Amino acid sequence: MSVARLDEALKDAGIPIVGVSGVQGDVRVWFQSATVQQKIDAAAIVAGYDWTPRRLKGPLALIAEIANLTAADRNRLLAATAADLLRRVPRVAMRLGINIEGDEPDV
């Protein structure tokens, strides 16, 4: 799971990558048209990456944390979660009678 989180961290930093593989101390990053600066930034992210094993928080702990968010942050979280779900299940909103789809014609 750590490599998946590293992949996400690189993509969140705006670095165009195809993917990441490896383990701590032996990481390979596949770039997709990255600039020299983006490759330097990626190397810094990899070097500073925290490889500490992580586990998922329980639902009640997450609900408590969400309850403590501001209304604006809860709305941002909701929108991001909905967008992620729509990308994975494009017609989920349509099934609920909400007129939005997660895919579009590829023309």
Q: Is the pLDDT reported for residue 1 higher than 80? A: no
6 C-beta neighbours (distance < 10 Å), count? 23
Same domain, 8 and 41: yes
Residue 104 lies in a domain: no
Q: Is 94 left (phi over 0), alpha (psi -120 to 50) or beta?
A: alpha
Please state the domain count of the chain: 2
Phi first, then psi: give them for residue 30, nearest 5 degrees: -100, 115
**What is the reported pLDDT for 79?**
96
**Burial per residue of 50-83, b for 16 or more beta-carbon CB atoms within 10 angstroms, e otherwise:** eeeeeeeeeeeeeeeeeeeeeeeeeeeeeeeeee
Check residue 2 and give its pLDDT.
85
Residue 26 lies in domain: 2-47
- Statement to judge: residues 8 and 39 lie in one domain: yes
Quote the CA–CA distance of 77 and 44 in Å, as a whole number.
28
Q: How far is Cα 54 from Cα 59, in angstroms, rounded to an integer?
A: 16
Contact 101, 94 (CB under 8 A): yes
The amino acid that residue 106 corresponds to is: D
Q: pLDDT band at residue 16, thresholds of 50, 70 and 90?
A: very high
> 44-85: per-residue pLDDT in tens?
999 999 999 989 999 999 999 999 999 999 999 999 999 999
Instruction: Flag whether pLDDT at 86 surpasses 90.
Output: yes
For residue 89, pLDDT over 90 is answered with yes
Residue 53 lies in a domain: no
12 and 43, same domain (yes or no): yes
